[in-house]
Amino acid sequence: MKKLALHWQILLGMVLGVLFALICSNFSWGSSFISDWVKPFGTIFINLLKLIAVPLILASLIKGVSDLKDISKLSLMGFRTIGAYMGTTVIAVSIGLLVVNTIQPGKSITEETRQELITNYSSDAQSKQADAKRQKEAGPLQSLVDIVPSNIVGAASKNTNMLQVIFFAIFFGIGLILIPEQQAKPVKDFFDGFNEVILKLIDIIMLAAPYGVFALLAALVVESPSTDLFKALGMYALSVIIGLLLMILIYILLVWVFTKKTPRFFVNGISPAQLLAFSTSSSAATLPVTMERVEEHLGVEKEVSSFVLPIGATINMDGTSLYQAVAAVFIAQAFGMDLSFGTQLGIIATATLAAIGSAAVPGAGMVMLVIVLAQAGIPEAGLALIFAVDRPLDMCRTTVNVTGDAAVSMIVGKSVGKLNDHPTEKKWDDNYHPISKEKK
């Protein structure tokens, strides 16, 4: 295993996890064995990644902002980052609408299948509707209020409060820029060392990645709904996957055009993070690995990656936005509704804005989908139609989210002159000041 590249180790773990689950499912004890004795190791792996996410954002973002030494650089990078993320989100939603209107998967669902799905998943749909209702009743500026924490310790205690942690880190970094350099130096030195420790912990955690994804995929297979429901939703799932693959091709093209880096270079650099995103369904949990790959394998300097990637993990939900567009039109088709061009333009706007408020954790996109459905006048009960295949599609769209984060970081890095042609890779057992091995 040690001789294989990390992405091959992770891919091997995924394949073996699926095969192991398929074999065990043929025995009466198989499902309970995986749930009781295998799945917990996958949960531990995800918890380790989540454990490191908030300290990583605090350390890397404070260091990245304070290293700019000029607030004008921060605003320049900030506008370019947010502009790039918003642009790719609009492209993603448009691709989703194009694919779903071309394939029209909702028209293949029979009334019998529709009623079966609604019956099986009605309680889940009601729960998501209630969450979305609370969010809508909070007021138009509540999302802005939620960005500013009243207690940073409380905000850092939950990974769902990532925007609040980012706000504090940027605010703290600005404070370091504005005070005399002599007074700021001890604080910056502390966060430099703290950041190195966190990165070393990430290296250690990644040694367990192949085993973690083995457990996660095995548990997913034995907990999946019946095959009959998957067949009924096959065209919907295919529409989402085609849209997501097209979006990845768009990222590769954008990187090629703006940074002159080859598709092979980009895909090889980010593939371990993509596989991990697929296994965990969480951009936030994958963030530590995304940062390591972008810095050490794609050549984006820490000053850029530590600013662009944490923001991307929170507001860049291209895969989620694309899925929301496909799901909304699919549900409308299933209910026999024809959506006007104006309504579909409204879906683009709503899905783009909803992506910013979507937490970087598994299943968060489903809550935001309720808001998209309500805006388009589509029955929210239709959520029950897509719950059966939401988990595997969540894995796919998280992969796209992470790929988008990496692509934008490279583009922003190139635009500000912070993209290295020869990135350096640190080994997991390097010392505090490692002799980096130049990547060939």
Least confident of 159-163, 272-276, 418-422: 159-163
pLDDT digits (tens, 9 = 90+) for 363-416: 455 556 766 776 677 766 666 667 656 777 888 888 999 999 999 999 999 988
Q: What whole-number distance in Å separates Cα of residue 202 and Cα of residue 213?
A: 16
Helix (H), strand (E), coil (C) string for the chain? CCCCCHHHHHHHHHHHHHHHHHHHCCCCCHHHHHHHHHHHHHHHHHHHHHHHHHHHHHHHHHHHHHHHCCHHHHHHHHHHHHHHHHHHHHHHHHHHHHHHHHHCHHHHCCHHHHHHHHHHHHHHHHHHHHHHHHHHHCCCCHHHHHHCCCCHHHHHCCHHHHHHHHHHHHHHHHHHHHCCHHHHHHHHHHHHHHHHHHHHHHHHHHCCHHHHHHHHHHHHHHCCCCHHHHHHCHHHHHHHHHHHHHHHHHHHHHHHHHHCCCHHHHHHHHHHHHHHHHHHCCHHHHHHHHHHHHHHCCCECHHHHHHHHHHHHHHCCHHHHHHHHHHHHHHHHHCCCCCCHHHHHHHHHHHHHHHHHCCCCCCHHHHHHHHHHHHHCCCHHHHHHCHHHHHHHHHHHHHHHHHHHHHHHHHHHHHCCCECCCCEECCCCCCCCCCCEECC
pLDDT of amino acid 351: 73
Q: Average pLDDT for residues 302-318, to the nearest whole number?
A: 82
Tokens linked to 374: 């309500």
195 pLDDT more than 80: no
Tell me if 92 sits within 8 A of 319, measured CB to CB: yes
Tell whether the model's pLDDT for residue 17 goes beyond 60.
yes
Q: What are phi and psi of 182, to 5 degrees?
A: -65, -40
Place of tokens 């699919």: 330
Residues 217-229 have pLDDT tens digits of: 788 777 655 454 4
Q: Give the residue-averaged pLDDT of 113-140.
A: 61
Question: What are 327's strand-pairing partners?
Answer: none
Tokens standing for residue 419: 């993209």
CA distance 325 to 327: 6
Q: Give the mean pLDDT of 209-237.
A: 72
> Which is more confidently placed, 140 or 390?
390
Give residue 124's pLDDT.
Answer: 56
* Maximum average pLDDT range among 8-17, 56-65, 104-113: 8-17
Report the distance separating Cα 164 and Cα 314, nearest Å.
10
The dihedral through the CA atoms of 35, 38, 39, 43 has a sign that is positive
Which of these, 312, 415, 340, 384, lies nearest to 109 by C-alpha position? 384
In this prediction, residue 241 carries a pLDDT of 92
Q: Cβ contacts of residue 241 below 8 Å, gap of 6+?
A: 393, 396
Query: Is the distance from CB of 117 to CB of 346 less than 8 angstroms?
Result: no
Q: What tokens does 435 get?
A: 């002799």
Of residues 362 and 260, more confidently modeled: 260
Mean pLDDT, residues 2-31: 81
> Which whole number is the average pLDDT over 160-171?
77
Q: Poorest-confidence range of 105-109, 194-198, 283-287, 409-413?
A: 105-109
Q: Give residue 440's pLDDT band: very low, low, confident or very high (50, 70, 90).
A: very low
Cβ atoms 314, 360 nearer than 8 A: yes
Nearest to 250 by CA among 409, 99, 89: 89
Q: Is the pLDDT of residue 422 over 50?
A: yes
Indicate the pLDDT class of residue 432, thresholds 50, 70 and 90.
very low
The verdict on pTM exceeding 0.75 is no
pLDDT of residue 140: 63
Kindly tell me the burial class for residue 309, based on how many C-beta atoms sit within 10 Å of its own C-beta (0-12, 13-18, 19 or more).
Answer: buried
Q: What is the dihedral of CA 358, 6, 424, 294, to 10 degrees?
A: -10
The C-alpha atoms of residue 388 and residue 390 are separated, in whole angstroms, by 6
183-220 residues labelled b (16+ CB within 10 A) or e (exposed): ebeeebeebeebbbebbbbbbebbeebbbbbbbbbbbb
Question: 257 or 395: which carries more pLDDT confidence?
Answer: 257
pLDDT of residue 64 exceeding 90: no
Mean pLDDT confidence for 198-223: 81
Report the distance separating Cα 176 and Cα 187, nearest Å: 8
Confidence of residue 73 (pLDDT cuts 50, 70, 90): low
Return the ∠ at Cα 81 (arms to 79 and 85), rounded to 5°: 115
Radius of gyration over every alpha carbon of the chain, rounded to an integer in angstroms: 22
**Rounded CA gap, 50 and 105, in Å?**
36
Report d(CA 438, CA 24) in Å as an integer: 44
Task: Answer yes or no: is pLDDT of 231 > 60.
Answer: no
